[in-house]
Amino acid sequence: MTTIEKSALPTTDALRSRVRDALAAVGVTVDLGAPGAGGLATSTPITGDVLFTIDESTVEQADAAIAEAAQAFSAWRVTPAPVRGALVARLGQLLVQHKADLAALVTIEAGKITSEALGEVQEMIDICEFAVGLSRQLYGKTIASERPGHRLMETWHPLGVVGVITAFNFPVAVWAWNTAIALVCGDTVVWKPSELTPLTAVACQALIERACADVGAPAGVSRLIQGGREVGERLVDDPRVALLSATGSVRMGRQVGPRVAQRFGKVLLELGGNNAAVVTPAADLDLAVRGIVFSAAGTAGQRCTTLRRLIVHSSIADELVSRIVAAYRQLPVGDPFADGTLVGPLIHETAYRDMVGALQQAVAEGGEVIGGEHVDMGDEGSFYVTPAVVRMPGQTAVVHSETFAPILYVLTYDTLDEAIALNNAVPQGLSSSIFTLDIREAERFLSAEGSDCGIANVNIGTSGAEIGGAFGGEKETGGGRESGSDAWKAYMRRATNTVNYSAELPLAQGVHFG
């Protein structure tokens, strides 16, 4: 399968110029070193070239950042929540002002097409608006007491320093999900971004520092540390970090979770996804094709909510696969800045090798591969591919594994029970969907005996979650919840309060003592 169109790539010098312009616009004053000058290399998947180097945080600097955040927490936790909301409101205003600048950096470092990069920054703006409203709604409960003359209630208090570790594929939105909510909850934040996207992090830090200065908030409420594993481990192991929110692989979560638990810290883990869509004979296939193509091919298959398994009824499988393949052939691959491009690059060579290996394994396990070809853009350092559709004889080992690339495995079923079982058979449990116009099928999929994922959709794909709902998944996805709904409770501590306003001292459960 070949694409109809591919766009030419920009020059590395042109990309460097765009970086300088975007950073200058948001007020970044950090020195950008030449490639190979030492420090943390900032590269782009668009060409595969290193653009600049920036300073990498030392362990001592990471410790100092945590100390600054811990000190700022002492003042921030007693700042009224609506006043804390003013800081987040100002951040949201700055994001609106610099939406295009930040989106350009996202495209350069993560390879997202322009509309998706702009959409990611819009997520930041949306969560700021949500958090500002939340700053006046951190409600507790009043509970009926069994004792006369007593009031029983719950109150919520700031938790402490929140450590945030983010992945390359959403280099700014996930930081904003955590930071906007944490700040209005009275927490302070120390952020370690992916080593692959340091420039977007520098830009975000500049904007939050401007927001702090504008509203008079302590600068230490948000700190940034840059680097690799050694720096991230300071957040994992430091007892001053009350909550660690980490987004990444299941392998990473298996290491991080126990280490934080060992010191009795709290974790919020957003790990792998192996997401499926069920398509029944009652589906609107036009709608289904559109939802499937975006969910499977968007962001070059590098979203945690990317559609990776298509579970389609055997009576419509041939027709649906044929339509998806035809749609894939019309997806322009190339420069993510170019108008009309829908599929940008994979993040690096390792991602490409992983995709090649997964497709080879699929063939060895009886699969039929359509697409998945390397697209030669005339630059050896970048890795562009066509999305792949792989018809599988069953849910084999490769189907149970998540490969961060545009691979869509197609499985067939005959009964809805079988489809739900296939959806739930993998160890991950992030997102899922069903395409059907049959209300019984839809409600069954959403019921307790249906999808076991944290996200279950009807007649939309698996990706593209709104910030109003809590985001996260079950099983090996980690169980964490970020963004909307009552996800804010993860960033606060609960206290149960009993107030005796009587002159007596009755004990609970009818206990008599003395």
Q: Which residues are annotated as catalytic?
A: 270, 304
Alpha-carbon separation of residue 235 from 256, 264, 356, 413, 483 (angstroms): 10, 14, 35, 45, 21
Q: What CA–CA distance (Å, rounded) separates 498 from 166? A: 40
- Name the residue among 475, 483, 389, 390 with its Cα closest to residue 432: 475
| Tokens of residue 153, six digits | 């209630």
3-state secondary structure 85-105: HHHHHHHHHHHHHCHHHHHHH
**The dihedral formed by the CA atoms of 89, 95, 97 and 98, expressed in degrees to the nearest 10:** 160
Phi, psi of 407 (to 5 degrees): -115, 125
Q: Under the phi-then-psi rule, with left for phi > 0, alpha for psi from -120 to 50, and beta for the rest, what region is 217?
A: beta
Report how far Cα 45 is from the mean position of its chain's Cα atoms.
19
Dist. CA 485–CA 89, nearest whole Å:
19
166 is written with which tokens?
Answer: 């983010």
> What is the number of helices (H) and of strands (E) in the chain?
15, 23
Phi, psi of 387 (to 5 degrees): -60, 150
User: Mind spelling out the 3-state secondary structure of 199-261?
Assistant: HHHHHHHHHHHHHHHHHCCCHHHEEECCCCHHHHHHHHHCCCEEEEEEECCHHHHHHHHHHHH
256 close to 414: Cβ distance less than 8 angstroms? no
If 0-12 CB within 10 Å is exposed, 13-18 middle and 19+ buried, where does residue 214 land? middle
Q: Cα 11–14–16 angle (5° rounding)?
A: 110
Supply the angle between the helices 99-110 and 81-97 in degrees, to the nearest 10.
70
